[in-house]
Amino acid sequence: MRIGSATMFFQDLSVCEALEKIARYGFQAAEVWMHHLIQTGESPQTVALRGRQLGLALSLHAVTYDVNVTSTTPGIREESLRQIHQSIVTASQMEAKITVVHPGRLSASRGSVETCWQLMTAALAQINEWALVAGVSVGLESMEKRPKEVFITPADIQKLLRPECKAIGFTLDLAHAYTFMDPVAYIERFDPQRILHVHFSDSSDQAIHAPLGTGKMDIPAALTALSKKFDGLAIIEGYVPGRGDETVSNNAAYLKKLGWL
């Protein structure tokens, strides 16, 4: 595995400055958040060049704020898909081989799960076409257990990953899994070929995404189980406002102590 950090820890800096920080702390990869890139206005090509110079493998997290590709309001659904398309194109321009995409969710707490599944299936067909044209892979992220989320369990994800969508794989989020089951058991439910990308952080009752070593998740056990099946990019999340340097530094120290970095 190549372990990296999300740029959102340093969202008060430019993306290139965030990459420099991530490399300085000893990480091998970085995940650029599309929101961060939009905020700073940097070109994907500039970010790609800086990533190469720093020896970082890059991935891109597609837009998530106010986005729902299964919205029952057509205009919102169409705009959400447009922004996902823009993220996929940006990933290609940034030389990131993987774009992480959140699945849709219910528009209302009493919305139709069946309709959500139908809209998600249609969205994935379109997303797959865009990814094939752009030459990137899409990692569909497993979500946490919370109201309106539909695509959560291993069974949900495996049902979504259809053979005809060749550009779409699975982004396993260990902290999301922790909200309803043991992450090690979650990992064991998947064929290694299904896991395209990984997000991880610690987790607690107070925060789904917490700095490593501050929550209740057995991180060493989860990483050990993961390493037996996965050899791609594993990206740390868990942004703490105003504490980017401290959090990333502590995450790096935690992993170095365990021998993972």
Three-class HEC string of the chain: CEEEEEHHHHCCCCHHHHHHHHHHCCCCEEEEEHHHHHHHCCCHHHHHHHHHHHCCEEEEECCCCCCCCCCCCHHHHHHHHHHHHHHHHHHHHCCCCEEEECCCECCCCCCCHHHHHHHHHHHHHHHHHHHHHHCCEEEEECCCCCCCECCCCHHHHHHHCCCCCCCEEEEEEHHHHHCCCCHHHHHHCCCHHHEEEEEECECCCCCCCECCCCCCCCHHHHHHHHHCCCCCEEEECCCCCCCHHHHHHHHHHHHHHHCCC
Domains contained in the chain, CATH given: 2-258 (3.20.20.150)
Output the tens digit of pLDDT for each of the chain's 261 residues. 999 999 999 999 999 999 999 999 999 999 999 999 999 999 999 999 999 999 999 999 999 999 999 999 999 999 999 999 999 999 999 999 999 999 999 999 999 999 999 999 999 999 999 999 999 999 999 999 999 999 999 999 999 999 999 999 999 999 999 999 999 999 999 888 889 999 999 998 888 999 999 999 999 999 999 999 999 999 999 888 889 999 999 999 999 999 999
pLDDT value at position 169? 96
pLDDT value at position 205? 81
pLDDT value at position 240? 82
- List pLDDT tens digits, range 181-240: 999 999 999 888 889 999 999 998 888 999 999 999 999 999 999 999 999 999 999 888
pLDDT value at position 61? 98
pTM for the complete prediction?
0.96
